[in-house]
Amino acid sequence: MTAVRPATAQLPVSEAVHRRRWAILAVLMLSLLIVVLDNSILNVAMRTIATPAPVGLGATQSQLEWAINSYTLVFAGLLFTSGLLGDRWGRRKVMMFGLAVFGAASALAGMADSPGELIAFRALMGFGAAFVMPATLAILMNVFDRDEQPKAIGVWAAGVGLAIAIGPITGGLLLEHFWWGSVFMVNVPIVVLALAAMALLVPESRDPAPGRMDPLGVLLSVVGLVLLVYGIITGGRLADFTDPEVLLTVGAGLAVLAGFVLHERRSAHPALDVRWFRNPAFSAAVTALALVFFALMGVTFFMVFYLQSVRGFTPLQTGLLLIPLAAAQLFFAPRARLVVARFGARATCAGGLLTIAATMTAFLLLDGDTPIWVLELVFFFQGAGMAHIAPPVTVTVMQALPRQKAGSGSAVNNIFRQVGGALGVAVLGSLLSASYRGRIDGELAAVPGLSRDARHAAGESIESTLALADGLGPAGRALAARADEAFVHAMHVTAVTGAAVVLLGVVVAVLFLPGRQPEERQARAGAGAAGAGAPSPGGVSARTGGAGPGDEEDGGREPGVRETGR
Instruction: Give the model confidence (pLDDT) of 96-147 as tens digits.
Output: 899 999 999 999 988 888 888 888 999 899 889 888 877 787 787 777 777 7
The tally of CA atoms less than 13 A away on the side-chain side of residue 410 is 31
Q: Tell me, what's the pLDDT at 525?
A: 41
The candidate with the shortest Cα–Cα distance to 438, out of 376, 482, 381, 375, is 482
* Beta bridge partner(s), residue 545: 541
Give CA 508 to chain center in angstroms. Answer: 19
- 541-549 long-range CB contacts below 8 Å, 24 or more apart? 542/12, 542/145, 542/146, 542/147, 543/12, 543/145, 544/12, 545/11, 545/12, 546/11, 547/9, 548/8, 548/9, 549/9
The candidate with the shortest Cα–Cα distance to 126, out of 183, 75, 66, is 75
Question: Which amino acid is present at 323?
Answer: I
Burial of residue 199 (number of CB atoms within 10 Å: 0-12, 13-18, 19+) = exposed
CA distances (Å), origin 425, targets 333, 347, 430: 24, 28, 8
Please tell me the distance from the alpha carbon of residue 353 to that of residue 14, in angstroms, as a whole number: 38
What residues contact 477, with CB distance under 8 A and at least 6 apart?
469
How many residues appear in the chain?
566
Q: Tell me, what's the pLDDT at 272?
A: 67
The DSSP line for 290-355 is HHHHHHHHHHHHHHHHIIIIIS---HHHHHHHTHHHHHHHHHHGGGHHHHHHHHHHHHHHHHHHHH
Please tell me the distance from the alpha carbon of residue 398 to that of residue 282, in angstroms, as a whole number: 9
**What does the angle CA 84 – CA 226 – CA 138 come to, to the nearest 5 degrees?**
25
Please tell me the distance from the alpha carbon of residue 153 to that of residue 391, in angstroms, as a whole number: 6
Please tell me the distance from the alpha carbon of residue 220 to that of residue 262, in angstroms, as a whole number: 11
Q: Tell me, what's the pLDDT at 97?
A: 92
For the stretch 191-201, pLDDT in tens is 999 898 888 88
- What does residue 527 show for φ and ψ, rounded to 5 degrees? -65, -35
- What does residue 541 show for φ and ψ, rounded to 5 degrees? -75, 140
Q: Tell me, what's the pLDDT at 277?
A: 79
Q: What are the per-10-residue average pLDDT scores of the chain (566 residues)?
A: 42 64 82 76 75 74 75 75 74 87 91 86 89 80 74 76 72 80 87 87 70 76 78 66 85 90 81 74 83 78 82 81 83 85 87 92 90 92 87 76 64 75 77 84 79 77 80 79 87 90 89 68 43 37 36 36 40
Give CA 139 to chain center in angstroms. Answer: 19
Please tell me the distance from the alpha carbon of residue 392 to that of residue 337, in angstroms, as a whole number: 7
Q: Tell me, what's the pLDDT at 537?
A: 35
565: left (phi over 0), alpha (psi -120 to 50) or beta: left
Q: Tell me, what's the pLDDT at 166?
A: 74
Sequence-ordered strand ranges (E) for 148-192? none
Please tell me the distance from the alpha carbon of residue 559 to that of residue 518, in angstroms, as a whole number: 29
476 neighbors 444 (Cβ within 8 angstroms):
no
| 402-434 exposure pattern, b = at least 16 Cβ within 10 A, e = fewer | bbbbbbbbbbbbbbbbbbbbbbbbbbbbbbbbb
356 neighbors 295 (Cβ within 8 angstroms):
yes
Q: How far apart are the first and last CA of the chain?
A: 44
Question: Which amino acid is present at 315?
Answer: P
